[in-house]
Every structure is written in C-alpha cells, then in structure tokens.
C-alpha cells in the first residue's frame, strides 16, 4: 500500500515538474534569454511618437525606421536610420557605424535638413559644399548600439516577480502591461533613444545646446503605462517585440523591433572621418557664410553673372601710363599697376596711387569669401553713403563671373564739395591664398583730363574691364 502511494507521489511530482518547465513564465524567460545570447543578428526597428495635446516638435521627427546588423562577438554595429513625419514623408537619413565603442555618424543629410528649416526664408547654402567628400563624424559620447531597446535588460530591471505577475500568453504571443510606477528614468531613455539621437546632433548645428525633449517623469508617473508584446518565430529564429509607452494626455510612443540571427556581418570603419571639433569649426564657418548670404539678399543688391575672368596682378606693363607696385597678399608679394609719376605709397596690405583732385586708385587685401559676399560686405559696411555730403546716388548692378571669384560694381553721385564723382569697385579672389584683392577707383569727373582717361582706359584693358563704360554712364 505504502509502495503504491510513493509511486503515485513520484508520478505527481514528475507531472508537476513538466508543467512548471513548460509554464508561460519559463517559456518567456527562455526566449528572452536566447535573445540576449544572440551574438550576430540583423534588425529592423520602427518608432512613432504622437503628442496628444497638440504639442509642436519643431524640426524633430515623429517616426523613424532603422535597419542594420550587429555583432556583439566582434563589437561592431552598422545601420541606416531614416526619419520621417507621421505621413511617411522622408525628412533625412543617416548612416551609422560603431566599432569597438567608437561611433561614426554620416551627418550631412541631417544638418542640411536643419539648415533648410532654420533659413527657410532665405537662399540656403549647401552644407556639403563646406565639407570634402562624405565624411563621418567621430562622436566621442554616442553609443550607437544602444539605440536598440535592450528588451532582456529592460525586463531584468523590472524584476522577475513583476514580470511574472504582468505576463499573459495566448498562442505563443506574450503580453505584459506595467504601471509607470515601475519605470525608471533609464528605462524612459532606453525607449526614446532613437529620437534623442536627433537632439544630440541638433545641438552640434546650433553650436550649443539642442532643444531636447521636456522631462517626462512627473508626480503622475503611476498613471503611465508600458505595454509589451513579444513573439518568437522558431522557423527563422526571429524575435519581435512591440513596446507602447502611454502618458495620458501627453504622448504615446511605440517602438517595434525584430531581431534575426545571421552569420557574423563584415563591418568596416568609414575611411573619411572628422573629429567633433573639426565639424563644429566648419559649421561655424557655414553659419558665417549663411549670414553673409542673408546680408546680400536683404541689402537689395542686384547681381548678374556676366563678368569675364579678370587679371588684377602681375602684369607685364608696356606703357608709360602705369607702373608696377608691390603688395603683400596672403604672405606673398604681388605686383599691381598704379599711375605712373603719381603719389604712390603702400602699407602692409594696401597700396595708394593718387593724382590730386583728379583720380585715386587704391588696392586692399581682404579676407576672401565668394566674390559677391566679399564685395557686398565691403561696399555696404565700409562705404556708407549716409556719411557723404552728396546727393543723387546711382548704383550699377554687381557683375560677377561664373565661379563668383570676381566682381565689379560702380557708384556715382553729385558730391557737394568735389562735384560729380565716380567710384568703381573691382574684386578678385587671389589664387593660392585665402584673400581677395579689392580695387577702388575714385574719379572726379569734372576734373578728368585726357591723360587721366587714358590711364583709366589702360588700367581696365590690363584687368579685363571696360572702365570707359562706367565713365560714360556717370557722365550722362
């Protein structure tokens, strides 16, 4: 009798053991453990963000799709990250690479998107023109492989008893729901990380702090909910999780990720890279160039592209009307033509040629940008007509060449002291330097004699400009 009872008890214990081993909790734990042990896998992640109270996100994206591969075995990660709006319209995409903890980001599409928004009211310069090739930023603090929500780590941080109480299963679909009271700040960041990457990189374009997301944790955190659905496709060994974070009256965030085991992926580091300080320096120059472009747009300058190539330095003079004079440009000596037998003098970066009461020629070395920008900054900032005792101001259009490396413009007016006066401005970027040569000619028309006209005519012939045209225009 006792022997029969013992056999029955052992049988019941064995049944209980099998039942426990096949319980939903154990099955779920086994699958998430298998997921955490994947060393080489491909992934597809999709995230969406809705603000329920109509909160504006500005330039921030509301949807992302990220596809790539990761090898924990070799410490390598590679992905393409596409940001869109909720209508599916592409905003920009990025290529991401991480190798042994070093993160590389192909940032140009994002930065162009931000600049297009910031300067939407103006002509926007191409960001890529300020960089060589298609460089990747070496970011010192980003951990790109952490963009994927680490589901096993998230569950582990919640605790086994919390997971066990929340878990339900139906035909291989595991579902869990958690109160916000169980969620830590680290969990929030983990779920939001692909969106937070945008603000990390936006801060670089602002050369300061990005706008960021408002703090999400509050005294009403217990009302938040985190829903998690998890399935495993044994046939292809793919794991899929659907996360939904709800903050009542504020927002809903979904993050869906599918992982599938693959062979170790070959991932190589980018060849063209820039350090963070280099990128910030180039972006600062881009912003200065954009400010100059806006200055031109708002100045009312009329610009036409019909100027031929100019030749302002190192002429072989064969005339008694002009003589050569040395000027230093970018640390190198060049020769410029000045009036022969006139009052000629020089400073470190400027040459004067003066015929009293008739004509003045002045050469100046300037920091060079595009010719139109450099010319506009000089004639609008330095040559302020409001400071002149004159009237009847007339300006010609600014002519530039096809490469925007040379420019010409004229101003003429009735000077109340000197009479009818003509200013001709000529500028050319000097090849091999980061400077431009600016030529300013001032002619007092009432005092111009034939000799002065011949000098100006010959100077224009060497440079490649018909100065007589401007003389005739101002004399009308």
pLDDT beyond 90 at 393: no
- Secondary structure (3-state) at 359: strand
Instruction: Mark which of 251, 271, 292 sits at the end of a domain.
Output: 292
List pLDDT tens digits, range 120-153: 888 898 999 999 989 999 998 888 988 998 888 8
- pLDDT on residue 56: 57
Residues 252 and 280 in one domain: yes
Q: Quick one: 194 and 329 in the same domain?
A: no
- Of residues 56 and 121, which shows the higher confidence score? 121
Taking residue 215's Cβ as centre, other Cβ atoms within 10 Å add up to 8
pLDDT value, residue 20? 43
- The answer to whether residue 56 is domain-embedded is yes
- What is the pLDDT at residue 380? 67
Radius of gyration of the chain (CA): 36
417 shares a domain with 387: yes
In the sheet that 76-84 helps form, which strands lie side by side, from edge to edge? 168-170, 173-179, 225-233, 238-247, 251-261, 40-51, 63-71, 76-84, 90-99, 102-105, 136-139, 273-275
Q: Is residue 199 within 8 Å of residue 192, measured between CB atoms?
A: no
In angstroms, the CA 112 to CA 202 distance is: 11
Same domain, yes or no: 310 and 220: no
**Which parts of 330-449 fold into alpha helices (H)?**
371-381
- Nearest CA to 244 out of 233, 235, 231, 253 is that of 253
- 322 within a domain of the structure (yes/no): yes
Measured CA to CA, the distance from residue 203 to residue 212 in angstroms comes to 9
Residue 18 pLDDT level (bands cut at 50, 70, 90):
very low
Q: Rounded to the nearest 10 degrees, how much is the dihedral formed by the CA atoms of 150, 271, 65, 143?
A: 30
Q: Cβ neighbours of residue 456 under 8 Å, at least 6 residues apart?
A: 359, 441, 443, 467, 468, 471
How big is the CA angle at 238 (ends 235 and 241), to the nearest 5 degrees? 135
Residue 10 lies in a domain: no
Spatial contact of 163 and 226, defined as CB atoms under 8 Å apart = no
| Residue 4 in this model has a pLDDT that exceeds 50 | no
In a domain, 227, yes or no: yes
Does 309 reside within a domain? yes
pLDDT-derived band at 391 (thresholds 50, 70, 90) equals: confident
Q: Is residue 8 part of a domain?
A: no
Is residue 353 within 8 Å of residue 342, measured between CB atoms? yes
On whether the pTM is more than 0.75, the answer is no
In a domain, 1, yes or no: no
Three-state DSSP string of 80-91: EEEEECCCCCEE
Q: Give the length of the chain.
A: 476
Domain boundary among 245, 268, 292: 292
Domain assignment present for 297? no
In this structure, are 307 and 281 located in the same domain? no
Same domain, 98 and 123: yes
Same-domain status, 313 and 232: no
User: Residues 115, 213: one domain?
Assistant: yes
Among residues 240, 258, 292, which one ends one of the domains? 292
192 and 104 assigned to the same domain: yes
Same domain for 351 and 312? yes
Are 363 and 351 within 8 A, CB to CB?
A: yes
CATH number, residue 445: 3.40.1000
**Per-residue tokens: 30:** 């086994």
In the chain, the number of structural domains is: 2
| β pairing state of 136-139 and 273-275 | parallel
Q: Are residues 308 and 346 in the same domain?
A: yes
Are both 283 and 314 inside the same structural domain? no
Question: Which residues on adjacent β-strands are paired with residue 274?
Answer: 137
391 Cβ partners below 8 Å, 6+ apart?
Answer: 413, 414, 416
Q: Which residues contact 401 (CB under 8 A, 6 or more apart)?
A: 305, 307, 308, 309, 310, 371, 407
Structural domain for 36, as ranges: 23-292
């Amino acid at each position: 009798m006792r022997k029969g009872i013992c056999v029955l008890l052992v049988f019941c214990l064995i049944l209980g053991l099998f039942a426990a081993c096949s319980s939903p909790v154990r099955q779920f734990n086994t699958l998430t453990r298998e997921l955490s042990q994947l060393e080489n896998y491909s992934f597809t992640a999709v995230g969406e963000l809705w603000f329920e109270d109509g909160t504006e996100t500005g330039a921030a994206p509301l949807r992302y799709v990220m596809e790539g591969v990761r090898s924990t075995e070799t410490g390598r990660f590679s992905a393409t990250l596409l940001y869109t709006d909720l209508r599916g319209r592409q905003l920009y995409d990025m290529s991401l690479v991480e190798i042994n903890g070093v993160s590389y980001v192909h940032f140009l599409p994002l930065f162009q998107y931000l600049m297009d928004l910031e300067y939407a009211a103006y002509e926007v310069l191409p960001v890529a023109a300020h960089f060589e090739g298609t460089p990747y930023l070496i970011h010192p603090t980003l951990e790109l492989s952490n963009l994927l929500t680490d589901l096993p780590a998230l569950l582990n941080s919640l605790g086994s008893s919390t997971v066990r109480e929340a878990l339900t299963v139906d035909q291989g679909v595991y579902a869990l729901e958690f109160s916000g009271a169980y969620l830590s700040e680290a969990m929030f960041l983990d779920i939001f990380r692909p969106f937070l990457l945008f603000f990390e990189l936006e801060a670089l374009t602002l050369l300061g702090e990005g706008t960021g997301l408002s703090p999400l944790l509050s005294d009403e955190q217990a009302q938040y909910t985190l829903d998690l659905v998890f399935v495993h496709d044994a046939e292809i060994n793919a794991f899929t999780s659907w996360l939904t974070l709800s903050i009542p009256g504020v927002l809903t965030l979904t993050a869906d990720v599918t992982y599938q085991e693959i062979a170790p992926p070959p991932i190589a580091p980018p060849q063209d890279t820039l350090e963070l300080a280099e990128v910030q320096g180039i972006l600062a120059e881009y912003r200065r160039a954009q400010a100059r472009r806006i200055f031109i747009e708002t100045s009312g300058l009329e610009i036409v592209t019909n100027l031929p190539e100019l030749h302002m330095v190192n002429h072989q003079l064969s005339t008694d009307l002009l003589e050569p004079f040395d000027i230093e440009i970018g640390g190198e000596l060049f020769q410029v033509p000045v009036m022969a037998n006139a009052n000629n003098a020089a400073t470190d970066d400027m040459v004067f040629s003066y015929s009293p009461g008739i004509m003045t020629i002045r050469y100046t070395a300037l920091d060079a940008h595009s010719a139109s920008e450099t010319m506009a900054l000089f004639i609008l900032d330095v040559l302020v007509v409001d400071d002149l005792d004159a009237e009847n101001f007339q300006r010609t259009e600014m002519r530039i060449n096809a490469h925007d490396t040379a420019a010409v413009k004229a101003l003429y007016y009735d000077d109340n002291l000197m009479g009818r006066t003509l200013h001709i401005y000529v500028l050319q970027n000097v090849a091999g330097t980061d400077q431009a040569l600016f030529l300013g000619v001032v002619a007092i028309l009432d005092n111009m004699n034939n000799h002065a006209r011949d000098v100006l005519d010959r100077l224009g012939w060497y440079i490649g400009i018909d100065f007589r045209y401007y003389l005739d225009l101002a004399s009308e």
